[in-house]
Amino acid sequence: MEYDYAYFKNIADFVKERLSFEPEVGVILGSGLGKFADTIENPTVLPYSEIPGFPVSTVASHAGKLIAGTVNGKKVICMAGRFHHYEGYDFRLLSLPIRLFKLLGVKTAIVTNAAGGVNTAYRVGDVMLIRDHIKLTSLSPMEGPNVGEFGERFFDVSDMYTRKLRDLAKSLAPDSGLRLQEGVYMYFAGPQFETPAEIRMARLLGADAVGMSTVTEALTAAHCGMPLLGMSVITNMAAGVIPDAVINHEEVGAAAAEIGDRFVRFVGEIIKAL
């Protein structure tokens, strides 16, 4: 399939016709973090399956809905559930969420994920502001013909995870009840969890947390010049960090639920302060 400008615009036009406002903030929710969607006031809900040309999330814990409304006085649009390469989706298609936000008028993106802790100083329940990422695969959401309406062929990613937004989040952290960290996220394709050897490699390369999402969204935001805040909830310690521990998706969901209310309030306060 050709993911040209017309593909993205057709989806955006369909969504625009069903919204009564232009959203200021776009939010993408990761595994177990769907509680935020419940805080959106006066919501307009669009199931992914009802949006022509829109992919469908196959992860059971992802609601698969686009929800637009108000949070703390700001107009937001939220993806309750995201898409992953391990679901069979082309890396180029994974540029869709941020490009849709851009076409809808969004000025700031907030992306969240559930991640495995690599840094041995981290604990389950910590929230890591993403400062940078490591992606060893050569695949990119910007491969193929450049869609010039969104950005230039070659683009800078040195402030991809926008420093000003990280500083804002840090200023709000003392009242959040959360233990805030800041570090490097390393992308693995999944869907299997990483091996202990891969986690040792990740630590040697400078990673603090690992996961299976987010980097395509961050790269797309950098391409189209959209400020982005990325946050990882540490829902488990990665393979081998705790000897003989077994990792499963239920553990991830339970850990996310444990800090869910505090994290939702924190994201809401960030949106309020933008």
Which residues are tagged catalytic?
Answer: 31, 62, 84, 86-87, 114, 212-213, 236, 249
The DSSP H or E segment spanning 163 is helix 163-172
The number of CA neighbours under 13 Å toward the Cβ of 34 is 17
175 Cβ contact partners less than 8 Å away, ≥ 6 residues apart: 269
- Position of tokens 């998706």? 249
Give the Cα separation of 189 and 204 in Å (integer): 19
Give the Cα separation of 190 and 210 in Å (integer): 11
Pick from 122, 118, 126, 111: nearest CA to 176: 126
Pick from 96, 61, 51: nearest CA to 252: 61
Give the Cα separation of 268 and 110 in Å (integer): 11
